[in-house]
Amino acid sequence: MNRKGILVVVSGFSGAGKGTLMKKLVQEYDNYALSISATTRTPRPGEENGREYFFVTREEFEKRIADDALVEYACYCDNYYGTPRDYVEQHLEQGHDVILEIEIQGALKIKGKYPDALLLFVMPPSAAELHRRLSGRGTETKEVIEQRLHRAVQEAQGIEKYDYIVINDDLDTCVEELHGIITAAHNTPLRNEEFIEKMRMELEGEE
C-alpha cells in the first residue's frame, strides 16, 4: 500500500475547536506534519515565531508570492496569510500527511491545485454549543461573537464542498475519527495507482 502523504485541509467555524484538535492529532500519531502559515500581521502577546505563525515582513511575503513559494495565500484586514510550499511538499514526499488549517476559500484553492487533497470540515455538535463556546472564551466582545456567528452562517453554505465532516463533541473521539478518515483515504484507487498497475502487470504474467 502506498504511503505517499496526503494533503489534509481542515476548516470549520471559529469556536469549533480546530486548533486543539489538530494539536492533539499531531501529538497522538506520528504520521502527521502540521503546516504553519506565514503572515505579515504583528505577533500577539504569547505568540512565537515558527509556532503559531512565521511572522514575516510585507516585502518578504510579496517576494514569496512572486517566487510562487506559497501553496495559497489570502489577504485579511490588510494582512497577508499564506502556506509555505516547501514545508508542504517536503513532508508529502516523505510520506507524512500534512495538515493545513485554512478557511473555505483557501481550501477550495488548494483543491484546485492538489485535486488529491482531502478536505475536512469540523462542526460543533449544535449551534447553541458553538455560541456557548464563543461566549465562554470570555475574551471577545458581543460584537465579535455576532460577527463569528454570522461568518459561520456563510461558511455553512460551503460544507458540501468538503469530503468529510467531523463533529467535535468529545475531543478524543473526534481526534480518533479524524485519524480514521485520513487513514481510510490512503486506500482510494486514485492514491494507489502504482500498486494497481503493478498488480495488473503481474496478473498478466501469471496467466
Give the Å distances, CA to CA, from 79 to 21, 46, 62, 132.
26, 19, 11, 29
Minimum distance between the CB of residue 145 and a copy of itself, rounded to whole angstroms? 10
Chain-centroid distance of CA 92 in Å reads 14
Q: Which residue has the cell 484546485?
A: 112
Residues 16/123, Cβ–Cβ less than 8 Å: yes
- Binding status of residue 164 toward a copy of itself by CB under 8 A: yes
- Binding status of residue 177 toward a copy of itself by CB under 8 A: yes
- Dist. CA 59–CA 179, nearest whole Å: 38
Which is nearer to a copy of itself, 105 or 188 (by Cβ)? 188
Torsions phi, psi for 167 (to 5 deg): -105, 120
User: Between residue 95 and residue 114, which ones bind a copy of itself under the rule CB under 8 A?
Assistant: none
User: Between residue 17 and residue 76, which ones bind a copy of itself under the rule CB under 8 A?
Assistant: none
In the complex, the residues that contact a copy of itself under the rule CB under 8 A are 1, 121, 123, 126-128, 130-131, 146, 149-150, 152-153, 156-157, 159-160, 162-167, 177, 180-181, 183-185, 187-190, 192, 195-196, 199-200, 202-207
